[in-house]
Chain A
Amino acid sequence: MARKISMRQALNEALDQEMARDPTVFVMGEDIVGGMGGDGEKDAWGGVLGVTKGLYAKYGDRLLDTPLSESAYIGAAVGAAACGMRPVAELMFIDFMGVCFDEIFNQAAKFKYMFGGKAETPVVIRTMIGGGFRAAAQHSQVLTPLFTHIPGLKVVVPSNAYDAKGLLIQSIRDNDPVIFCEHKNLYGLETDVPQESYAIPFGEANVVREGKHVTIVTYGMMVHRALDAAAALAKDKVECEVIDLRTLSPIDWDTVLESVENTGRLVCVDEAHPRCSIASDVSAKVSQEIFKALKAGIQMVTSPHTPVPFSPSLEDIYLPSADKIATAVRKTMAN
């Protein structure tokens, strides 16, 4: 356990171990092998951020560089899954999903239901999410709520290397379509990761910090901002419980509700836009189920309802910060 590796390496290891274990697993996406127009060294690149680096040398044609046509290859992956393969398709940025909504929303998500439970669609779509990367409005969105809205899809957002490996392995073994969201700013983050294969079950939130005054519910990069806020608040004797949802569909309501029953206060933090977000979803559930447990109004900390700005100084104030989270926590404590 003493071995620390980055989230990038953890994802690579998960793909590697599952490809070694199961011959039906294959990987496809833009530039995942060598990239178009490379100098002939096919394995040079391994994806825009290097997640698939080294796999081509081991598994050869089980890694497929695709044309720049998301709707075509996501459709191919969904079809292959319906025919018994376990494809992992990399769709570089979640911002580009729009062109394959039919393949995802109407096909992959519906097969099991429309074929009376007899069809499985074990496809994984890996994609990058999130801001703070100076990548402008079309490459910085989170968009997770679009996918949690659709029954039949599973939505996974790891916040660290340990979770990334175990959740990706579970995603590949799962028989339903999974949208696997990797935050761009977490690829380099290192944590303890076992060498052996392991799967983290879906629908099990992680309580990353225990506290008795306020519950902060979040996921992805915001877990780290929430932890920073909790550390700052602890100096003022405000003890926050921080819940990392890990999977947004299915979502672990039990852990959230149990925590808020204990603390009586809730702050939902979501890097996505505020309307119809994970933050608003969690807020609604808590007020519906355990309104009487609340000692103060629920607070939400999200990005604003605007595109992600390209200007670095604007992008910095656009994203929820530890300060904003701490301010929201203090508001719930004032009541």
Chain B
Amino acid sequence: MSEKRIIPIVMPKWGLSMAEGKLASWLMKDGDSVKAGDQLLEVETDKIAGAVEANEGGILRRRIGQEDTIYPIKTLIGVVADADVPDADIDAFVGSYVVPVAEEGEEEAAGPRYEFADTAAGRLRYTKRGSDDNTVLLIHGFGGDLDNWLFNADALAEGATVYALDLPGHGQSTKKVDEPTVAGLAKAVLSFMDTVKIDKAHLVGHSMGGAVAIEVARLAKPRVKSVTLISSAGLGPDINMDYIDGFVASASRRDLKPVLENLFADSGLVSRQMVDDLLKYKRLDGVGDALTALKNGVFAGGRQAALLADALAASGVPALVVWGAEDKIVPAAHATAAKGAKVEIIEGAGHMVQMEQAGRVNGLIKVMIGG
């Protein structure tokens, strides 16, 4: 019986390429009482740092992982259990814990991997996780890619089929953007849904991807179960053009890093690897032209060209609006424009709130999609 109340805390796997992570620091002590959603420890990967949160409550009984130490994913690094579970049971649990093996072969064969869809808008890269009738489609923002959902896709896939795509001009999708506007990108998302045979989905859009989600709901309401708009464009005219211009223009690490620091409340999250990955993307042939075209189309004259709050209200599609209170790219004040939507402003987070406060955002989305 008691074994049921022993909850293993393991090194998480964030994104397809993560094989190991460094336990940077424990945020709780042995014996602390833990609620679901509490941050237990900080993990650093070569991509990003983040906090591991408790899925269930209890007492932090055992901190097994050492700080400043690298562990492979799924390694047992801690144990949460109720107060009445005897120490002996926990010892036995730790002693008999086996890291799930055959991971590599399994992952290769059945796990999530990058796939490509040849759509009317060109070749688009995507990932698909989970298997459920309930489908979620994640749409990143300007200059982003499907890895912006590193901390979200797996959590949401516990109760849904989760797709994440690279929009045209982004990630490893085609760098040809036929129509560099929110409406053009929405058409690309609809072609993607046609190609991979998504009939209806909950759309989750970040930043420019939020505006795209609203536009998809306007164009094809029956195919959209709900929209979750995270630090979204489309709800007001303001946009930090210094960020947009800086992102498009920066060709070196030294120029790009300070630009990216605007994305987070905690600028320390901008790692060397994050800057490097973005530079690698920006160097690809066609990306400069695609980003410039989108900048001129979506943010013409330094304002957001597509104002969709009325269209959102008129569509009647259920909407959730999530914002980082310290957003320096799109002001959180725009949230009030979404009439009839549920609005959550999250303190201590910036524009990339889905990364900085992943647990909170995942919880809100799960409620929205009924997972």
Residues of A within 8 A of B (CB): 1-2, 162, 166, 194, 196-201, 204, 206-207, 210, 254-255, 258
Contact = CB atoms under 8 A, between A and B. Distances in A.
Interface stretch (B23-31, B132-140, B156-164, B251-259): B251-259
Given A194-B284, A210-B272, A201 B252 contact: yes
Given A2-B114, A194-B172, 16 more contacts: A1-B17, A1-B172, A1-B280, A2-B16, A2-B17, A166-B283, A196-B284, A198-B280, A198-B284, A198-B285, A199-B283, A201-B283, A204-B251, A206-B253, A254-B254, A255-B253
5 contacts: A1-B17, A2-B114, A196-B175, A201-B283, A210-B272
Contacts of B252: 201, 204
A200 B17 contact: no
- In this complex, the interface size class of chain B, counting residues with CB under 8 Å from chain A, is 10 to 19
Nearest to A200: B283
B283 A207 contact: no
B254 A255 contact: yes
B285 A196 contact: yes
A279 to B, nearest CB: 23
B254 to A, nearest CB: 6
Contacts of B17: 1-2
A200 B253 CA distance: 12
Contacts of A197: 284-285
A136 to B, nearest CB: 38
Given A1-B172, A2-B17, A210-B272, A204 B253 contact: yes
Contacts of A198: 280, 283-285
B171 to A, nearest CB: 10
Contacts of A254: 254
Given A1-B172, A2-B114, A255-B254, A207 B272 contact: yes
Given A166-B283, A196-B285, A201 B272 contact: no
Interface string B100-118: 0000000000000010000
A196 B281 CA distance: 10
Contacts of B254: 254-255, 258
Nearest to B175: A196
B283 to A, nearest CB: 4
Contacts of A201: 251-252, 283
A208 to B, nearest CB: 9
A200 B280 CA distance: 9
A207 B253 contact: yes
B122 to A, nearest CB: 13
A200 B285 CA distance: 11
User: 7 closest pairs, A vs B, by CB?
Assistant: A198-B283, A197-B285, A198-B284, A204-B252, A196-B284, A201-B251, A210-B272
A207 to B, nearest CB: 6
B280 A194 contact: yes
B211 to A, nearest CB: 27
Nearest to A21: B285
Interface string B18-37: 00000000000000000000
A262 to B, nearest CB: 13
A158 to B, nearest CB: 14
A197 B253 CA distance: 20
B220 to A, nearest CB: 31
Interface string B263-305: 0000000001000000010011110000000000000000000
Contacts of B272: 207, 210
Contacts of A166: 283
Contacts of B16: 2
B269 to A, nearest CB: 15
A1 B276 CA distance: 13
A207 B272 CA distance: 8
A196 B287 CA distance: 11
B222 to A, nearest CB: 36
A325 to B, nearest CB: 21
Contacts of B251: 201, 204
A249 B114 CA distance: 38
A207 B252 CA distance: 11
